[in-house]
Amino acid sequence: MAGNATGGASTYDAIIIGAGHNGLVTACYLARAKWKVLVLERRHVIGGACVTEEDVPGFPPGYKVSTAAYVNSLFRPQIIRELRLADYGFALLERNPSSFSPFPDGRYLMLGPDAALNHREISKFSARDADNYPKYEAMLARVAQVVEPTIGMIPPDVLKPGLGDIWKLMKLSSTGVFQMLVATASWTALMPIVAGFGEVAIAGYVIALRVVMFALLPALGLSNAAATMVGQNLGAGKPERSESAVWKAGLFNFAFYFFVGLILWLFSNQIIGIFTQEAEVLKYGTSALHIIAYGFAFYGPGMVLETAFNGAGDTWTPTYLNLIIFWLVEIPLAYLLAYYFEMGPDGVFWAITVAFSLLAISSGLLFRRGKWKSKMV
């Protein structure tokens, strides 16, 4: 309860009803932020359901009983760190065994970190369940990996976003939009250079471009997945997991697109032939696809690495990269190769190959430097 409240002679910035662990944690954070806080608890003991009590009805005197919460599962490590709870005696004890469930007929189920013991114990009730238990645990671990990073996040108010939320979204998306614009506009800027060699050259170039974009669609999906992993794990304070997800996705894309590039390189004529029967268009299209295929192994990982920066909220690094590589390298190089070195449209196709490969390499180098890890969104 925020605001200004009076309790007797004193004035408080916040009064918290109930000294369960949520109330206590909230009170500590408010006090840290210099608020004057009053916590009211109706029981003789604080801690709510997380408390361990003595002399509980039904238990012999002297027994200590954890009345409800006994597993320190969802208590965020960040809270333990920020409130310096260890300095006040907080300690985490490993549960071993983790649970003991007695049954009225005298049987019991004891579980713990020992997989062999768990299998023996569950087998007493069901051999099939015992065999399946590791799969169940693995499933839980996978679910936790997705859900856990979201626990500490402040959910956006989608029904009534505040001005701050809207501004943040606009700031984030505007760089992303600009980034896309820089990249896609460069493809269009190459058109006039190719157009100098006639309409057939343009037609061949456009067909090859469509094939390339289609072939790169799976890389786009994987890049977005990797970017999500980066955002989630950074949010959970685990940058090393973000990094490993990106390198894994990049490596997978490298192997996959090496193979795709080989197919495009070997069968460029047949592939372009599906879309046109005109000999001149086929010639230019084939040449474009053949040359662009040389760098294919780089394009997939390049996309993953570039998108990973976006996932970390660092939208400017890929924008600068796009600006430098597409506009300062690719377009002048295309013009030089096509006209000055008289390579014709092939010069443009080589410039595309060089630019995209360069983009992948420079993204990789910048990603390895790791400045994105310290980006605050």
Ligand X SMILES: Cc1cc2nc3c(=O)[nH]c(=O)nc-3n(C[C@H](O)[C@H](O)[C@H](O)COP(=O)(O)OP(=O)(O)OC[C@H]3O[C@@H](n4cnc5c(N)ncnc54)[C@H](O)[C@@H]3O)c2cc1C
Chain residues in the site for ligand X (CB under 6 A): 17-23, 40-43, 48-50, 68-71, 73-74
CB of 17 to ligand X, least distance (A): 5
By C-beta, is 2 or 158 nearer to ligand X?
2
CB of 16 to ligand X, least distance (A): 9
Q: How many helices (H) and strands (E) does the chain have?
A: 14, 7
By C-beta, is 6 or 270 nearer to ligand X?
6
By C-beta, is 154 or 217 nearer to ligand X?
154
CB of 151 to ligand X, least distance (A): 12
CB of 98 to ligand X, least distance (A): 11
Helix boundaries (H) for 159-216:
163-195, 199-215
CB of 44 to ligand X, least distance (A): 10
Contact predicate 333/276, CB 8 Å: no
Q: Assign 107 to helix, strand or coil.
A: coil
Sign of CA dihedral 78, 83, 89, 90: negative
By C-beta, is 18 or 239 nearer to ligand X?
18
DSSP conformation class of 153: S
Beta bridge partners of 144: none
User: Residue type for 43, please?
Assistant: R
> How far is residue 122's CA from residue 291's CA, in Å, rounded to a whole number?
61
> How far is residue 173's CA from residue 179's CA, in Å, rounded to a whole number?
10
User: Residue type for 359, please?
Assistant: L
DSSP conformation class of 55: S
Position of minimal CB gap to ligand X? 20
CB of 84 to ligand X, least distance (A): 20
By C-beta, is 46 or 110 nearer to ligand X?
46
Q: Which parts of the chain are beta strand (E)?
A: 2-7, 10-17, 37-40, 52-54, 64-66, 99-102, 108-111
By C-beta, is 59 or 167 nearer to ligand X?
59
CB of 68 to ligand X, least distance (A): 4
- The pair of structure tokens assigned to 111 is 């579980």
By C-beta, is 50 or 110 nearer to ligand X?
50
